[in-house]
Structure 1
């Protein structure tokens, strides 16, 4: 019998019935409470039976608008148990997004986490004619219930559907297991709509097999043991978090629900003492920035010691990686020469590294508990500075890469054998190649477009064969649209997006991501976006770090009324410009045409649905319209 996701849960539950599968707080002040695998599987079966009692059939699409919580996984696995599939999105989705997604997939039943989600959907109900029922995790308020009644949408509580399922199972004790047994590897598990960084969202059809293919080797690269804990902070509708949760459950470890905010995450980690933290790079950047800020505020001898030991640790780690060949390389090197020249500096630095570990780094690592094995950074570009910092401090964070269309993992560094500044080799079941713009296969060490083939690749875009044909060849190669290069042992390094490439009027091609990543090293800059398509040189949109900029102004006796007034000061522009020029220059490996000649200040953070996609990626195609005035001013002669 082929594996499916509900069968995996059934098997894991049978082997580990009393092992915790989930930890969550019943309310913000309460301690974490466990749900065992037996309880979780029972809840999923009861919800599945409740759906059967409502007339849900195999292949039916169920809308699923909710943030991560224990009921999400129980409902998800219940839906999959009877051969239906979910169409998920988070609570930050706009009414327009929901209108498009739910109407396009013609859902009859939609899980809505709370009143807020139901109201958004009801506001566009006239354009979702198939919608008949809501299933709510939290009780709807009276106003929402009245709106649903007027719109002709029935409201059911999740717990009531589960109770109906219990009654259904008592009368039909074999029904859900029989449905689980009917499941096939190629059944669609979910239709996940891409966040639309290029405009129109596309519904990616992902099968049970797409997800399960990855569980084979990911169990080795990101390993857990029964009873281990992994903290969940990402939006679960996003394919990275969804796959992480299947990986965690498959190894009989527990999903622990938290939030990606330092004020919530760090206390939760202290209480849970987890082994794994999968998160977008921004979460690890926030941890880094929090430590740096704390040290700057402390000042004095403590800050001096911290800075000294960090520099020593980074240099020590660089030498060690060189000696042990743990750096990404595109060609073979002569390691004997490295040992001859570097072994003495390595030996001399080792006692200082040990002292830094005792006085500083041990305390930093303690913030993540005494059981922490690794962080997993995915869903965006992972900064080299952050990568090097955590590596030097002895905190393992491995970088992975994938996309919704590959469910999502293509490659990830193994926890026990990482190679710095890359995403590792492709996992088993996945093949990759690098091609030029004409589709010719390039040799190792040459930059080109990454293509992927294997059992993780999607079935296609829902109802959009035309779009599927644009990215998926007849022989199964998926064009990722990402620029990459292959290392000496097959490791991959992602260099940016093909469509992000800026072409200057002189014909120079510029990848903005490395420049932006370098600019972000300044503590005074919160967001930087490089612009300059068809211009003679590059410019940038800069959002300063308000707290740091205002502190700098006070220390330098610069008077200002508010933040808006401060960014108009010539002194502020000069200081930020000095920061940019110090970072983006030939000394740091940038070419002359990659220099930022002029920039414009922004004063409001980017927002999801405006400048950012739902997974917090910059939608560059929108910026030229939203900031037309600022961009025009940058390039004014």
Structure 2
């Protein structure tokens, strides 16, 4: 790939080289798909950039972007970067306090919002937004919207009107926008993405043009794509994973089809637009697999028997094939020749049954996925092994990657042609990765002099520790937080991911846990448990609480009740107190805690639905130092996961069925 200085420069190159290729598709008000070419998008981006400049946006500015996946998001993103400014994105599910903190911290004078609902959330805290002057609404503003904005002393403009003004002012000329692109450098900040935070303060991750371009220059070695391919866009575009996927699509001169991660919406869109590539999160793949199995079971009869039989054949075939062709991750030293011999006979015996399964069953399933699907990409959380096996068995290639916001985001990626299950892929091209001892790492950071520290020695393959990385995708730092940046990146550029894992003998990564507290649900939602736990502990009946949910559909909690208060409550309600563990299971006690949880973790208190506590377990014994707690009285989450493995399994038991 040719080297470019900025993402807008790359986009300009693709648009001028392939102006007639489709770049976007979305459903109009009549329900039919509207398609747009690279020429259409290029002109819209230039028009909008000129208009934004007319509104005072200049190089180095920060522009708020509060919206979900839609054509205007990409126009805004590329136009902002064309001017050398950086966008500060957030989705429509963001809470008022989040938006206020993010926009005020980054001093956004102008913000682009999707609709009236987002406008109200922005203006709800307008007194805190000292710099905010203008809001551009993608949805046509109503008279009421204009009144609300005027009352807050904020200028409200229509996206369409702003773009039209830019079109008239530009009048087809590219002189101004070309000059602005030429001023751009790879060190320019492209975006500031804030990590999730509910009542705590999120951290602003500064990602540069180079962070993204560095990855785009290397993805061709891992991910095949060609001009004219269709990519389905269903994930929140402000998340780092989906955002990179959109840039990859543009780099390949491919098209983005905007849909929703709902079966009733997505499957008809897939059938009509026939995508070749679908990026998604684990929950999406699980939902599709569950839907297929549910349909098969509902039909019953010979169809069900055939499907389940050939599904089993497919899984066994893939296991044997992986052993024969060296697709087994080696976290312990193993001889490849032995693997080949173990898998050879089963593989040979299953070739014909697998072929029959493809003819009779698998092809029909793939046809429902549009018939042209070449690749599914899973990111934003761990893909469950049984879901991975399901797709491999029916002949749908699904490859898993690993990354975090601070690395823009890719750190590893499975080989598209020789994917190995049981890991999240080979360390990304030209990226260095080390596994280090967590205690030595903590000691190095805590003993840093003037913020300078050095990475501990690397652990051998197959040994669990903290994942450290170094490469061109690592962020510039946390916005206005040099203290946090210094703790995250050592003197030689090694970044502490906060994740626990190990390396294979073939330089592949396996994630085993998280040293940092962030929880990532199956849907890719990032949740900081500390603010939730802090709020729950405001309930006088709770002594300690640990929120759980990594790679699950929902959150649960292990709760240590305040024993004396619970016993007092029991006595007041004539409940037996001799057997304390039994008392904790009593319906009245359970109801007491459910009411206490729900009255605190709700929308009114600034929590989003996926942050609600779905289930909880009351524990009879307090957390102890050296067991669940460190010497600093801090919860050791990995210890809690081990000690209460059975209780945790029970809390999530329904989603495993």
Structure 2 length-normalised TM: 0.78
| Counterpart among 479, 486, 490 of residue 473 in structure 1 | 490
Q: Does 1:493 align with 2:494?
A: no
8 Å CA contact retained: 2:558, 2:618: no
Q: Say whether the 8 Å CA contact 1:47–1:162 is kept in structure 2.
A: yes
1:2 and 1:184 in contact (8 A); partners too? no
Matches within 5 A, 1:283-302: 283-302=284-303
* 1:372 to 2:373 alignment: yes
- The structure 2 residue matched to 1:453, chosen from 470, 479, 492, is 470
- Which residue of 2 is the match for residue 412 of structure 1? 413
Q: 1:325 & 1:611 partners in 2: Cα distance? A: 52
Unmatched runs of 5 consecutive residues or more in structure 2: 441-455, 520-545, 562-584, 588-593, 624-657
Residue 229 (structure 2) aligns with: 228
Is the contact made by 1:110 and 1:133 (CA closer than 8 Å) also made in structure 2? yes
Q: Corresponding residue for 2:23?
A: 21
Deviation at 1:154, TM superposition (A): 0.7
- Report the more deviating stretch, 292-301 or 367-376: 292-301
Matched-pair contact (CA < 8 Å) for 1:213–1:429:
no
Q: Distance in 2 between matches of 1:164 and 1:385?
A: 53
Match of 1:565 in 2: none
Name 1:75's counterpart in structure 2. Answer: 76
CA distance, structure 2, for counterparts of residue 133 and residue 612 of structure 1: 25
Deviations 1:247-293 (A, max 9, x none): 00011001110000011111100001111001111110110110111
| 1:307-326 alignment, distance < 5 Å | 307-326=308-327
1:111 is matched with which residue? 112
Q: Is this contact kept in 2: 1:429–1:456, CA < 8 A?
A: no
Measured after TM superposition, the shift of residue 337 of structure 1 is 3.7
Q: Deviations over 1:6-46 (max 9, x none)?
A: 1001111111011111111122x432222111111111011
Q: Deviations over 1:557-606 (max 9, x none)?
A: xxxxxxxxxxx999xxxxxxxxxxxxxxxxxxxxxxxxxxxxx99999x9
8 A contact 1:186–1:208 mirrored in 2: yes
CA deviation after TM superposition for structure 1 residue 139, in Å:
1.0
Q: What aligned pairs does 1:563-582 form with structure 2 within 5 A after superposition?
A: none
How many aligned positions are there?
A: 552
Give the structure 2 partner of residue 155 of structure 1: 156
CA shift in 2, pair 1:19/1:284, >3 Å: same
Matched with 1:631 is 617
CA distance in 2, matches of 1:390, 1:635: 43
Query: Does the 8 A contact of 2:413 with 2:425 survive in 1?
Result: yes
- Secondary structure at 1:62 match in 2: strand
What residue is the counterpart of 2:9 in the other structure?
7
What corresponds to 2:95 in structure 1?
A: 94
Asked if the contact 1:516–1:530 (Cα under 8 Å) also holds between the matched residues in 2, the reply is: no
> 1:362–1:55: structure 2 CA closer, same or farther, 3 Å change rule?
same
The change in CA–CA distance for 1:428 and 1:633 in structure 2 (over 3 A counts) is: closer
Partner of 1:464: 481
Deviation at 1:440, TM superposition (A): 3.0
Q: What's the TM-score once normalised by structure 1's chain length? A: 0.80
Is 1:249 aligned to residue 231 of structure 2? Answer: no
- CA 1:235–1:613 in structure 2 vs 1: closer, same or farther (change >3 Å)? farther
What pairs up with 1:226-625 in 2 under 5 angstroms?
226-437=227-438, 438=440, 439-499=456-516, 527=554, 529=556, 531=558
Give, in angstroms, the shift of residue 223 of structure 1: 1.9
Q: CA deviation at 1:531?
A: 4.2
- In 2: Cα distance, 1:494 partner to 1:31 partner: 42
Structure 1 position 613, deviation (Å): 8.9
Secondary structure at the residue paired with 2:112? Answer: strand
